[in-house]
Amino acid sequence: MKKLKILIPVILLSLYFAACRKDKPLITPNEPAAADILEKKDVKGMVYNLCTDGGLGGITVYLEIYKEKDLIFKTSQVSDEQGYFTFPQVGLHSSSLFKHSLYIPSKSGIGAKNKETCGIMGGSLAFSVLDADKLLQPRVIPSFIYIAFYFPRQQVTTGSDSIIARFAQNTYHKNVPDYPYQFGEGSIGTLDWSQTQSGINNYPMGLYHIVVDKWVSGVHTQWKDSLFTNYGDTAAYVVHW
């Protein structure tokens, strides 16, 4: 009888601990992360020009792979005339510990004299193993070096006469609505027959729509024109009185 009294509490305690083990999952401290699968793929893309809605050639694109914060792989390609590029058979990782990105460096373009030093806004585009099956499109905003404006006077004008040309890059404005996209240049009347000149530098390239307003002897005339400036290029626009 004494043995039975002792066994009953033991059996009850055993049933209790067994129930607790069923209710709570087994947790292993420092459980290892999911295994990383390395898959080789061609990473294809196009440098997308926000100023033209098309590709941009001659741009160096870097492919970078990070493990957490450490850069473990880096290579580069230059886009062709249509802006396309391919990184052949790159080893891409499935684990979330790894990050893949395409990177195009930015340049200020201050004091630029040629395309190599001309301004461009680049940036990074992160992608996964699945994204690599798509055409990746890192975006850029390239600039022209300089546009010179000439206002040659073909007749004597007075101080009350004036002329102004307004330039607007509508494609760029559509894609980047929060950034400045237009500017104006002009000239005022004078008795001097000389030619006046001004200009602007390091602005987004592309097609500029131009509206010219002229006031001579109280008569207002207006006409429209356009001017295309390429990346790293210089141009001139002549506005006749």
pTM for this one?
A: 0.80
Tokens coding 40: 């080789």
Say what percent of the chain tops pLDDT 70: 81
Q: Which residue has the tokens 């193993």?
A: 129
Confidence category of residue 122, pLDDT binned at 50, 70, 90: very high
**Selected residue with higher pLDDT from 13 and 153:** 153
**Selected residue with higher pLDDT from 22 and 170:** 170
Per-residue pLDDT at 31: 46
Q: Which of 106, 128, 116 is nearest to 62 (CA)?
A: 106
Per-residue pLDDT at 16: 44
Highest-confidence range of 25-39, 66-80, 184-198, by mean pLDDT? 66-80
Per-residue pLDDT at 5: 47
Q: Is the pLDDT of residue 194 over 60?
A: no
Per-residue pLDDT at 216: 87
Q: Is the pLDDT of residue 217 over 80?
A: yes
Question: Tell me: the pLDDT tens digits for 17-62?
Answer: 444 444 443 334 454 556 889 999 999 999 999 999 999 999 999 9
CA dihedral sign, ordered 84, 87, 93, 94: positive
The CATH code of domain 38-142 reads 2.60.40.1120
Task: Report the DSSP beta bridge partners of residue 235.
Answer: 147
Question: Tell me: the pLDDT tens digits for 99-109?
Answer: 999 999 999 99
Secondary structure of residue 227 in the 3-state scheme: strand
Per-residue pLDDT at 198: 82
Question: Tell me: the pLDDT tens digits for 142-152?
Answer: 999 999 998 88
Per-residue pLDDT at 191: 57
- Give the pLDDT mean for 190-200: 68
Calpha distance 57→208 (Å, rounded): 21
**DSSP code at position 115:** G
Calpha distance 108→141 (Å, rounded): 11
Domain ranges in the chain?
A: 38-142, 146-238
Confidence category of residue 137, pLDDT binned at 50, 70, 90: very high
